[in-house]
Amino acid sequence: MARSFAIPDFYRSSYIRTIKLHRQATDPRKKDLTPSLLDFGPLRFKIARHFGFCFGVENAIEIAYRAIEENPGKKIYLLSEMIHNPEVNNDLLSRGVRFLMDTSGERLINFSELGPEDIVIVPAFGTTIELCNELAERGIDPDFYDTTCPFVEKVWKRSSDLGEQQYAVIIHGKKTHEETRATFSHSKETAPTLVLRDMPEAEILAEFISGKRPANEFSAIFGSAVTTNFDPELHLTRLGVVNQTTMLASETAAIALRIKSALAEKYGEENLPQHFADTRDTLCYATQENQSATTALMSCGADLAIVVGGYNSSNTSHLVELLEQAMPTYYVCGEQEIMNEKTIRHFCLEKREIVETTDWLLKTPLTIAITSGASCPDTTVDRVIRKVTSLVPGCCSAEDALKPFVV
């Protein structure tokens, strides 16, 4: 039986909870990726099979609110945003929690202000060994309220194992992301480590493996994304690939396959086990489920898509990238971005800024595909659905729309 977390009731929804409970009852093995259809008449929502708070996020929320409850009167800090969702982070701030750093690692509060009586919560992305040591030097136990996702810790363990087996580690991730910075810090303790952002960078790495690029260009190309002890002539001979758990699983798999093929070309298929480690077991199940459900959502078709989540959420942005391939897609952090039936504010991944689109509700009847990131509360998705239905005349009541899902 799956573990149940003690998260605040205001994060629990009515619409989405009803639908998810129905899907759990009818598809307990999670084999059916067909989206759920919430039919309001002139407006229909196709809702992804999997989305919203994952195991790691619920675990983090439970620990953070427990820290607040158990430490009345004490100064409570988060190293940085606990998860990439403004609603959750703003609620923690409203309860007196303060951020020590921003998401880039820039310090907002000088660590010299911290003392042994202060409480510091480690975010779900984890943190670096260097920061843990710095907190410990000030008498603060960073392990006491550590919300690091277990699947992130699994990646750290696998990286350590690879290093002990004399493999160099390739991390598929964004080198400035909190999780990747943390994984890089842990990995470099035992293994020469390199961060790859995408397939073009993997192609460049393959050229170094094959010898098509001279080794003396390696540091100039990868810069701060590689550990100082990484010798391409020595360490590009035995490699293992892990990832930032919020990246596209299919892209991680493709990057691993490209590196594997480069090693096979150089050393021969028969010798590949000595040069390439199989690390498929490090991919986060929740990330894979959400991405697979989004792919199924795309294949079922819709007039447009709405993706709900924080604008700095990596896993959410990848869901947007998938849906944009199939239909007009609007990335919103909440219902407040849906201004009226004419205008919607949404985050444009290409421009990295909030834009406004007019005439976004194309017609009626209208079918909208909807999903959210792993750090987005289901209540936020509820409010988005309520807001959109309020703009379309003739929609039936929520009670009638939910009747097929009442267990």
DSSP conformational letter for 216: G
Positive/negative CA dihedral, 38, 11, 286, 128: positive
**215, 233 Cβ separation under 8 angstroms:** yes
Ranges assigned E (strand) in 126-204 = 168-172, 193-196
Q: List, edge to edge, every strand of the sheet that includes 366-372.
A: 36-39, 43-47, 366-372, 304-308, 329-332
Cα–Cα distance, 270 to 275 (Å, whole number): 10
DSSP annotation of 122 reads: B
d(CA 18, CA 32): 17
Q: Which two tokens stand for residue 374?
A: 């792993």
What does the DSSP 8-state code read for residue 323? H
- Residue 3, number of CB atoms within 10 A of its CB: 8
Angle value at C-alpha 104, between 80 and 244, nearest 5 degrees: 85
Q: Hunting for tokens 């998860």 — which residue is that?
A: 83
Task: Give the number of other Cβ atoms within 10 Å of residue 123's Cβ.
Answer: 26
3-state SS record for 328-344: CEEEECCHHHECCCCEE
Choosing from 81, 178, 179, 289, the catalytic residue is 179
- Return the SS3 of 205: helix
Q: How far apart are CA 81 and CA 124, in angstroms?
A: 9
Helix (H) or strand (E) segment spanning residue 55: helix 55-70
Contact 255, 283 (CB under 8 A): no
What are 400's two structure tokens? 């009638």
Q: Is 179 considered catalytic here?
A: yes
Positions marked catalytic: 179
